[in-house]
Amino acid sequence: MQSRYFTINDFPQGTPARELFELHEAELTTLAEGEVRIRNTWLSVDPYMRGRMSGVKTYIDPFVIGEPLEGAAVGEVIESRDTRLTVGDKVRHMAGWRDIAQLPGDQVEALPDIEVPEQTYLGVLGMPGMTAWTGLNRIAGMRDGDNVLVSAASGAVGSLAVQLAKARGGTVVGIAGAPEKLAWLESHGIQAVSYRGKDAQQLTEALQAVCPEGFDVYYENVGGVCLEAALNTLRVNGRIAVCGMIARYNAEGPMPGPSNLPMVLIKRLRMQGFIIFDHWSDYPRFLEEVGPKVANGEIDYAETVEEGLERTPDAFLALFAGTNTGKMLVRL
Ligand SMILES: NC(=O)c1ccc[n+]([C@@H]2O[C@H](COP(=O)([O-])OP(=O)(O)OC[C@H]3O[C@@H](n4cnc5c(N)ncnc54)[C@H](OP(=O)(O)O)[C@@H]3O)[C@@H](O)[C@H]2O)c1
């Protein structure tokens, strides 16, 4: 059986070009004892993958030029030599960016038994959702009534973060780019502010206009002007959960830090970064709390879907163009 998979042919500088990605086809080896073969049905593309294209080890190894790329995927077992998995099982694993995956069974997990579409285990009930929940609850220590500011608020992580925050009763403001994203936020009762075309002072004023009393928590996904405006609008003893800084991921050189960093001192702010893999032991707790609410519609989620394996690089690049609302996915 053949597997088609993507590789990169270089470590890109700046925004990756479409030509960076190459589609290959290879014959799979006979299944070894303990291995499974999976027909992937949905692939995830995520901003952290850009870091893996830099050639530098951070909290995770870089991708290897010419080797199949990796990423979260869900699919169906089509052949198994692992006694724990049988043909037809729906599973999640990290051998994405390809149509047919073959890997040891101990690197594959069966999808949880909740009545939701399978691709939600890549989004609202997968790593991005778990990241939103962890950042607010474990890192920022969100309390009832907190006013919460979220950047990249209509994305995979942000769109759950704003809903979890809203349920705690405070004012919730989401920063996003395109008008349709602002509309999605507003339709969910979230005050929405665009960062597009604004410098830090203008964004600060726009945030003050919708939340004059200021924020207790800032859920940071972007950096740049969003962080600077957040530092200006946080209250004394505010908390910042640093989840991501996507405005920097394609930077070709050092970028200036926020000019108002002394606000951390003046306002006695607490700022903490986190990597979700360190918190994965909490995943069952997250699923128990958030899973039923997704299943019964209390928590909504959005998806932007590209069709077909060939479109995977385009889906990935859309994350940086900001054309996705909710989780960016590829359906195979
Ligand atoms: N710490 C962790 O373990 C962890 C885990 C998962 C994700 N993350 C981080 O969480 C953040 C969100 O990830 P996600 O998967 O939910 O992605 P996402 O928000 O679904 O997609 C990325 C969004 O970022 C915004 N964006 C892109 N370039 C930007 C720029 N230069 N300036 C401002 N906004 C920009 C765009 O929305 P706009 O329309 O708003 O511009 C885009 O749609 C990322 O920073 C990611 O690295 C961290």
Q: Rounded to whole angstroms, how far apart are CA atoms 182 and 151?
A: 12
- What pLDDT, on the 0 to 100 scale, is given for residue 239? 98
Give the start-to-end residue ranges of the domains of the chain.
2-123+302-331, 127-277
Contact yes or no for 108/178 (Cβ under 8 A): no
From start to end of the chain, where are the E strands?
2-8, 21-27, 35-44, 73-80, 90-93, 100-104, 109-110, 148-150, 172-176, 191-194, 215-220, 234-242, 270-273, 303-307, 327-331
Round to whole Å and give the CA distance between 144 and 125.
23
**Centroid of ligand 1 to alpha carbon of 220 (angstroms):** 9
Ligand 1 close to Cβ of residue 244 (< 6 A):
yes
Residue 220 pairs in a beta bridge with 242
Unique residue bearing structure tokens 């030509």: 19
pLDDT digits (tens, 9 = 90+) for 253-310: 999 899 999 999 999 999 999 999 999 999 999 999 999 999 999 999 999 999 999 9
Each residue's pLDDT, cut to its tens digit, for the chain (332 residues) gives: 999 999 999 999 999 999 999 999 999 999 999 999 999 999 999 999 999 999 999 999 999 999 999 999 999 999 999 999 999 999 999 999 999 999 999 999 999 999 999 999 999 999 999 999 999 999 999 999 999 999 999 999 999 999 999 999 999 999 999 999 999 999 999 999 999 999 999 999 999 999 999 999 999 999 999 999 999 999 999 999 999 999 999 999 999 899 999 999 999 999 999 999 999 999 999 999 999 999 999 999 999 999 999 999 999 999 999 999 999 999 99
Q: CA 151, CA 157: separation in Å to the nearest integer?
A: 10
273 CA: nearest ligand 1 atom: 1
152 in contact with ligand 1, CB cutoff 6 A: yes
Å from CA of 155 to ligand 1 middle? 6
> Nearest 5 degrees, angle CA 135-CA 236-CA 244?
30
Residues in the chain, overall count: 332
Q: What is the pLDDT of residue 256?
A: 87
- Tell me, yes or no, if the two domains 2-123+302-331 and 127-277 fold the same way: no
Residues 6+ apart with CB under 8 A from 297: none
What is the whole-number distance in angstroms between the Cα of residue 130 and the centre of ligand 1? 15
Q: Could you tell me the CA-to-CA distances from 226 to 219, 233, 246, 319 in Å, in that order?
A: 10, 11, 11, 17
324 within 8 A of 298, measured Cβ to Cβ: no
Which residue type occupies 256? P
What is the C-alpha radius of gyration for the chain, rounded to an integer number of angstroms? 20
CATH code at 2-123+302-331: 3.90.180.10
Could you give the CA distance from residue 100 to residue 27 in angstroms, rounded to a whole number? 10
Rounded CA-CA distance 221/154 in Å is 11
Q: What is the CATH number of domain 127-277?
A: 3.40.50.720
Whether 176 is in the pocket of ligand 1, judged by its Cβ within 6 Å, is yes
Atom of ligand 1 nearest to the CA of 195: 33
Q: Is the CB of 128 under 6 A from ligand 1?
A: yes
Q: Which residue's CA lies nearest to atom 6 of ligand 1?
A: 128
CA angle (146, 151, 153) in 5-degree steps: 90
52 CB near ligand 1 (under 6 Å): no
Q: Can you give the pTM of this predicted structure?
A: 0.98
Taking Cα atoms as reference points, which of 163, 156, 173 lies closest to residue 136? Answer: 163
Instruction: Output the CA 212–ligand 1 centroid distance in Å.
Output: 26
Q: For ligand 1, atom 2, name the residue with the nearest CA.
A: 275
**Which of 167, 148, 176 is closest to 235 using CA atoms?**
148
Q: Is the dihedral of CA 127, 130, 132, 136 positive or negative?
A: negative
- Taking the CA of residue 158 as reference, the ligand 1 atom at the shortest distance is 16
Among protein residues, the one with the nearest Cα to ligand 1's atom 41 is: 177
Question: Which of 157, 314, 325 best tests ligand 1's pocket when mutated (most atoms within 8 Å of CB)?
Answer: 157
* Residue for token pair 């990423």: 71
What is the 8-class DSSP label of residue 229?
A: H
